[in-house]
A and B are shown apart, each in its own frame.
Chain A
Amino acid sequence: MSDDSVPLALPLLRLAAGSSEVTTLYRELRKPLLRYLVCLGLTSDEAQDVVQDAFVSLQRHMASGGDQENMRGWLFRVAHNQARNRQTSYHRRFGETLDGEKDFLADDATPEQLVLEREKLRRVAAAIRLLTESERECLLLRAGGLRYREIGEVLGMATSTVGDTVDRAMRKLAEKCNV
Chain B
Amino acid sequence: MCDVEAKLIAWLDGELPTDEASAVERHVERCQDCRRCVAAYRQVSETFHAYCDAVMAAEARRRVPRWMPVLAGTVVAAAVILLVFPRTRDEPPLVGHTINSASMPVPAPTPAEPAPRKATMRRRHAAPRVQERAAEIQPMDTTIQIAIPAEAMFPPGAMPNGINFIAEVTIAPDGSVQQVRLRQ
Question: How close is A70's CB to chain B, nearest CB, in angstroms?
Answer: 16
B155 partner, pick from A44, A52, A139, A179, beta carbons under 8 A: A52
* B50 close to chain A: CB less than 8 A: yes
Q: Given that A148-B15, A170-B9 are contacting pairs, would A39 and B56 also be in contact in the complex, using a CB cutoff of 8 Å? A: yes
* A21 close to chain B: CB less than 8 A: no
B13 partner, pick from A120, A121, A148, A179, beta carbons under 8 A: A148
Does the CB pair B48–A143 fall under 8 Å?
yes
Q: In the complex, A20→B51 CA distance in Å?
A: 33
Question: How close is B35's CB to chain A, nearest CB, in angstroms?
Answer: 14
Closest to B151 in A: A52
Residues of A121-179 contacting chain B, CB below 8 A? 121, 124-125, 128, 139-140, 142-143, 147-148, 163, 166-167, 170-171, 173-174, 177, 179
A143 partner, pick from B6, B49, B66, beta carbons under 8 A: B49
Does the CB pair A104–B57 fall under 8 Å?
yes
* A109 close to chain B: CB less than 8 A: no
A142 partner, pick from B13, B43, B66, B155, beta carbons under 8 A: B13
Does the CB pair B52–A39 fall under 8 Å?
yes
Which of the candidate stretches B95-103, B135-143, B156-164 sits at the interface with the other chain?
B156-164
Q: In the complex, A26→B157 CA distance in Å?
A: 13
Does the CB pair A100–B58 fall under 8 Å?
yes
Q: In the complex, A163→B159 CA distance in Å?
A: 42
* B59 close to chain A: CB less than 8 A: yes
* Size bracket of the A interface: 35 or more
Q: Which among B51, B61, B156 has the highest number of chain A CB atoms within 10 Å?
A: B51
Q: Given that A1-B63, A166-B9 are contacting pairs, would A121 and B158 also be in contact in the complex, using a CB cutoff of 8 Å? A: no
Binary CB contact string for chain B from 45 to 76 against chain A (1 if under 8 A, 0 otherwise): 10111111111111111110010000000000
Does the CB pair A35–B53 fall under 8 Å?
yes
Question: How close is A28's CB to chain B, nearest CB, in angstroms?
Answer: 14
Q: In the complex, A120→B10 CA distance in Å?
A: 24
A16 partner, pick from B13, B43, B61, B157, beta carbons under 8 A: B157
Q: In the complex, A55→B157 CA distance in Å?
A: 10
Contact partners of B40 in chain A: CB under 8 A: 174, 179
Does the CB pair A1–B57 fall under 8 Å?
yes
Contact partners of A101 in chain B: CB under 8 A: 54
* B154 close to chain A: CB less than 8 A: yes
The 3 lowest CB-CB distance pairs between A and B, nearest first, are: A1-B60, A16-B158, A104-B57
Q: List 16 A-B contacts (CB under 8 A).
A: A1-B57, A1-B60, A2-B57, A8-B158, A18-B157, A45-B63, A100-B58, A103-B58, A121-B50, A121-B51, A121-B54, A166-B10, A167-B6, A170-B45, A173-B48, A179-B43
Residues of chain B whose beta carbon lies under 8 Å from any beta carbon of chain A: 6, 9-10, 13, 15, 40-41, 43-45, 47-63, 66, 153-159
